[in-house]
Structure 1
Amino acid sequence: MKNVKYRFLIVFILCYSLLSVGQDVKKKDNANIDSLLQLIPIQKDSVLVETYFTIFDQYIFKDPKKGAPYLDAAAPIIDSLKSKYLEAELLRKKGLYIQELGDFNQALVHLNQAKVLYNELGDREKLKTVYNNIGIISKDLGQTATALEAYLICIKISESLGEPEQGRAPNLMNIGMLYSKLGNLEVSNDYYKKVEAICLEHNLEYGLAITRSNRATNLAKVDKLQEALDLYLGAMPYFERTDRKSAIGEQLNLIGAVYVKMDSLKKAEKYFLQALNLNTEIEQKNQLGISYRNLGDVSYNERDYKSALENYQNSLSLAKQLSNNIEIVDDYLKISNTYEKLGDISQAYEYRKIYSVMYDSIFSRENNQKINALELRYKTEKSEQEIALQKKEIALLEEQGRTANLQRVGLIVGLLTTIAIFGLIYYGIRQKMKRNRLERERVKAELAFKEKELTTHALHLAKKNEVLEGLKQKAAELKKTEGGGKAYQELIRTINFDQQDDKVWENFTRYFEAVHKDFEKDAVSRYPDISKNELRLMALIKMNLSSKEIANILNISSDGVKKARQRLRKKMNLSPEDSLETTVMAI
């Protein structure tokens, strides 16, 4: 009875705090914590543990370090109570705390232990929360297929619990973030739109702020910088009002990154330094590492390569501590580029090798196929569940029909016959629709994969030629200043041979034809005078690549691209008003 009174008192205080209108959010939170602290001396056992947990929850997204002592205080009480549920809750909250600090591997240990206990307890609601956190951590560790599987499990649990759609919004958003990391912005944006619609319908301020921030990240990736900046700045007031320091630190980094792209380096540096100081204060190592990398980008753009290298190495050191493979890959690439600018070709080459191996392991074809298979399996299972539900509804209708037929024998025969025929036709139509839908999804997924594979191949080809050209120029410079000219000349010949290797184009053509079937055949049929090199140029235009990317892939200058385009226009008999891109896209 005494415990019930204390629980009621806690609930009353929380409700009173939440319903106080016109007060600042920070003041309300502080008042709430102060009220809870006054209860601690008169509480014990599970009631006291719940109070410690509630205080910790108030701090976790604002200042995690302040919340940690309350978990430590709860631990011995839970141990004495031998409560499996409270033990699971403690493990989950410790995992969340360690995750906020950025120690992903250690956080995963606690969350997996909590998952086992929730499974034993049959607590599916808490299990869903744990899987969501596991998905977030797996994404940061570069385990993208594992992350997607965890998010899909969350959605299945939510559906089985009969939760409203807003309960699945965080999982849908995390899937969108995962696809954004993988570079599939179209699919990512589709998920963000779903989440934004849910948040607007149910007035979910936090979800709306996070989703718009994530949309801004995708916009920045396609250089829609002002739109991205407006969304970031629009989301920031909510995080400041609710004192979510981790989110503020992340937003500062993101806003600064947009200013770097805008070439406003002083503004960018101001935001990055604010992020660095805040993330240092709250010991958020993941965002702290990103702050160092961003400051490295500023120095790199200012051509202060020594300072850039120091910041990139600080970022890499933190990413390695956290086993954050997604960030490690980016750091290796930036360090390689910086060593190249400093003239240390040997170090540039070593870091580039490590980058290539890690990039392939995270973004490999096998991994992408696994992700596509997981999503397809989820959609298929969901369709099958819908069909099963419809079958149950039909069976219920048939049972009602049989009961009615006891009264009117004549009507029974006709009614049952009609229902049976309708059921068979309906079932046949549903099965056919299911097969058609699955086939469309399979073809769409296969085409999307091939398009991504083609784009990746083209961009890798462009990057390879760019790097080889840089190495060739560096070798030519070294040849003039040092001995061993013959060896450098041999290196230049080798690079020239690799840049002109027809096998590379054969591979590219194979990928291209898999996506754009009969393109070469149709182009030659329409324009029989075009050469092999002009066909290559048309293929790259068809992929909507920039002039710089085309120049790198064809190993020619930007002026060379312009001249090649002019020759192609002439052979295609295009007037000055005709668009070359539109004409090629129509083939």
Structure 2
Amino acid sequence: MNYFIPFLLALFSLLSIDTPLFAQQEHLEDAMFTSEQEPSKRLLQLKNKYSDALEHHQTLEAAQALQQMGLLCFHVGHYPQALDFYLQADKLFKSTDADLLRANNLNDLGLLHYFNRNPVLAKQYYEEALHLFEIHHDHLGIATTLGKIGHLFEKQENYKQSLSFQKQAIQHFTQINNQTGIAKIYENLGSIFEDLSRYDSAKYYFSKSLAINDEQHDEVAKIEVLNNIGDILRKTGKPQEGLTYSKKALTLAKKYHEKYQEASAYRDLARTYNLLGRNDSAYFYLEISRKMTLDIYSDQNNQKIAMMQVIYDITKKNNEIERLNNDSKTNKIIGFAITIVMVLLAILGGVIINKQRMYIQNERSVSEQKQKVFEKEQELVQVALRNRQLEEEQLKQELEIKSRELTTHTLHIIQKNQVLEKLYQRLEEISKDDRKNTQKNIQKIMLEIQDNFNHDQHWDEFRQIFEQVHGTFLEKVKASSENLTANDLRLIALLKMNLKSSEIASLLGISQDSLRVVRYRLRKKLNMEQGDNLASFMQNL
């Protein structure tokens, strides 16, 4: 018996893992789970409320009904259906920008994933809820969420982070003077220190929580705290004192019909009596705890089965309604479709006839337009040809004018040079006179005339006119030889004009013998074969 009792206590400790049916849910309405109204009936009421809200386009009310349906399913341990309701509610809350209501729903989702052994997802939902509360500076929501995150870290044995979040939570609860929240955080802190085996600190925080609950007259909240203090006293070698707290917890649990806390108190009493060596009493209370635990789990399973039946009936009813609606819609659609088809056929016939008429009219219109465009194009072509002819005629006239100017200018230069040549000859005769002064003056005149022969002004004017008449002729000649001088280019230009040798010699101010020498040198620079005619070469270039 001495070894059997501790074994049973350890076994029931494993069986008494917190479940959502018994875990403290601050946000649940008390009326939702009273013995007078079964969860299955409450679910039907919420389903009707949800349907009415959808029918009247009350999105926010529909979301709240879904959230309560999720809480109800979660409370009886029907996790998949609870998750579905929560997610539907989240979508509707999000569409209405109801951030605070959505944040509470996200906290519920986090709690669901916590109990479903998925701490990563639980933390994600808690953090998203915390963000929304912080945006709206909702200190109550912030504090509640921080406490949940801290509890999550505690269960992961990350006590440093857990303590940090619990302390942040208590700061926000203090800021809004929420004594109930402060008491709950003190209880959480006591639980953390109990896990760390720091029993003095644990008892300190449990005691502070108990004092606040006394002030607030929250008898239900005191039950768990009394059990925790009794547990601490038992662990620190004060089982007799711990027995007192466990009995107080049992009394309150019976008074307020808190069956889970009552079973927990019986179990703590069994542990205490076992430490005191009173194994008969220990076995007695342990057996009561066992029976209550089995009853609780039986009730939970019955509620879960009833809930599943209601959900099945609702689903079946919805499917049947949907099928009937679909059949009715199908018949209406078929009738409507036949009418539409007939109307469409009539319209299609009219459209085809009108389209054919329109096609013929369009073809005529397009043909007329094309004819007009063609005529316009022909007119434009004729105008363009006339303009081009006018431009060509104008260019020819300008070319003739430039050619006449070039010829006139050339003749002018020839005449000038001829006159100068005669003057030069006459002065040469006079220079033979023996009179000294006369000879000196005449020589000056001869030098001026000689300079005039080599003056470039008239040649520059000649070159400008020549290039206007003959275009890029001189550039082509330059490209054929890089050694051409300015005098070579003058000779080439005069050859291109097909002037006589005497006229070219006069224009260049040299004798015909010198001209022959210059022509010979030019042929060599142009790499001409012996016997090729220089003038013909220039005309063909």
TM-score relative to the length of structure 2: 0.42
Pair member with larger Rg: 2
TM-score relative to the length of structure 1: 0.39
